Amino acid sequence: MAQLFRPNANTYATVSLIVGALVPFSIFYFGSTITRSGYNTGVGIPLDQPIPFSHKHHAYELGIDCRFCHTSVETSAVAGLPTTEVCMTCHSQIWTNNPLLEPLRVSLESGTPLEWVKVNRLPDFVYFDHSIHIAKGLNCNVCHGPVQDMMITSKGRAFHMSWCLECHDNPEKYMIEYKKGDEPRKQVFELYAKLMAGDKLTEYEHFLAEGEFREIPKDKAHEGVKLMEARKINKAQLADCYVCHR
């Protein structure tokens, strides 16, 4: 009887063993890559808004403070969106005939509010509070990405819980002063002041402006710890479930 397998069968066997071992890993790898990509999370994908509002133009080029429009960011859980009248503060005077602003004018005239598409949304069981994060000196870009560079606003982070916990577990690794001695809530907006003034940024600030999320440099670690204590951040309690879920 002739041999059932030719010599090259060995090769087939080896290859299929390797492939067979790799396939689950690849599926897992691709699956998780897709889940974590902007395709699924929406990070970095500009959304179609009624008016193509540019943060880059308003916040960076014109230097309007975040809080001019997001009025309640320091006092409330939600930052708030500008009312039609707030937009009209300027746009009743400038760009009054711009067709892009037609929906704004219609809104004021007809009394129907603008409907913006929500960019950052947390699940219903997550209770995030803007005001406390501002009060503890956290820059907007940490969570929202390079807002000052966004022509059309997109999501800056996927808001995975593990990402939240990086900071909530070890807040000292993300504590930094942009301007020595300022109170924490002023620190928040210091980065933008520097950007606007064209000041030289430290490496960390540079990455933050680019929208990259990283720990403070190792050599500044002791400063982070000091800042955490100065800002009375209760590290022990910060990772309790009930802080965000209730």
Partner 1 sequence: MKSNVDGANLGESLKGKTGRRYWKSLEQLAGTPEFQKWVDDEFPHRSTLLKLDRRELLKFMGAGMMLAGLAASGCRKLPEHRVVPFIAGPEDYVPGKPVYYASIATMGGYATGVRVKTHEGRPIKLDGNPNHPASLGSLDARTQAQVLDLYDPDRLRMPTYKGDPAAWSEFFAKAGAKLEELAPNGGSGVVLVTQMVGSPTLHSQIQNFLFRHPAAQWVQYEAASRRNMIEGAAMALSPVTESHFRFDLAKVVVSLDSNVMMEGPAAARYQRDIMAGRDLGSGRTEMNRVYAVECAPTTLGVIADHRMPLRASLIPAFTRALAARLGVAGIGAAPAPAGVDENWLAAMARDLAANRGASVVVTGDHQPGTVHALVHAINEHLGNFGTTVVHTNPVLPKPTAEITALGTAVEQMKAGQVQMVLVLGGNPVYDSPADIDFKGGLDNVGFTAHLSMHDDETSGACQWRLPLSHFLEAWGDGRAFDGTASIQQPTILPLYDSKSEIEFFEALIGGAREGMEIVQDYWRGAMGEAGFDVRWHTALGDGVIAGTQLPAVQSQVLQGLGQAIAQMDDDVASGYEVVIQPDPTVFDGRFANNGWLQELPKPISNLTWDNSAQMNHDTALKLGVEIDKKYGFIPADREADMVHITVDGRTVEAAVYVNHGMADGVVLLHLGYGRTRGGKVLLPLRNKPEDHGGGFDAYRLFRSGKNPWMVVNGARFEMAGKTYPLANSQFHNTIDMTKVDSDREILEETTLSAFLSAEPVEHHENPTLYDEDMASGVIGKSNTSVEDMGWNDPNQYQWAMTIDLTLCTGCNACVVACQSENNIPTVGKYQVQRGREMHWIRIDRYYAGDGIGSEWPVNDPVIRLQPVTCMQCENAPCEPVCPVAATVHSKEGLNQMVYNRCVGTRYCSNNCPYKVRRFNFLNYGNHDDVPVKNLLNNPDVTVRGRGVMEKCTYCVQRINHARIEAKKRGDKIKDGEVTTACMDACPSRAIVFGNKSDETSRVSKLLHDKRSYKLLDHHLNTRPRTVYLSRVTNPNQEIEA
The site for partner 1 (CB under 8 A) is made up of 35, 40, 42, 71-72, 75-78, 80-86, 107-108, 111-118, 121, 123-125, 127, 129, 131-132, 135-136, 232, 234, 236-237, 240-243, 245-246
Whichever of 129 and 210 has its CB closer to partner 1, that residue is 129
Whichever of 133 and 220 has its CB closer to partner 1, that residue is 133
Measured between alpha carbons, how far is 136 from 232 in angstroms, rounded to an integer? 9
Spatial contact of 9 and 131, defined as CB atoms under 8 Å apart: no
Whichever of 180 and 246 has its CB closer to partner 1, that residue is 246
CB of 116 to partner 1, least distance (A): 5
CB of 124 to partner 1, least distance (A): 6
CB of 12 to partner 1, least distance (A): 31
CB of 186 to partner 1, least distance (A): 14
CB of 190 to partner 1, least distance (A): 19
Half-sphere exposure of 212 (CA within 13 A, CB side): 9
Whichever of 71 and 170 has its CB closer to partner 1, that residue is 71
CB of 114 to partner 1, least distance (A): 7
Long-range CB pairs of 223-232 (<8 Å, 24+ gap) are 223/175, 223/176, 223/177, 224/172, 224/173, 224/174, 224/175, 224/176, 225/172, 225/175, 227/137, 227/172, 227/175, 227/176, 227/177, 228/171, 228/172, 228/175, 231/136, 231/137, 231/175, 231/184
Whichever of 102 and 210 has its CB closer to partner 1, that residue is 102
CB of 141 to partner 1, least distance (A): 21
Picking from 204, 224, 200, 222, the residue whose alpha carbon sits closest to that of residue 213 is 204
Whichever of 131 and 202 has its CB closer to partner 1, that residue is 131
Q: Is 81 left (phi over 0), alpha (psi -120 to 50) or beta?
A: beta
Q: Which amino acid is at 73?
A: V
Whichever of 95 and 127 has its CB closer to partner 1, that residue is 127
Give Cα separations from 136 to 26, 176, 192 (angstroms).
Answer: 42, 11, 17
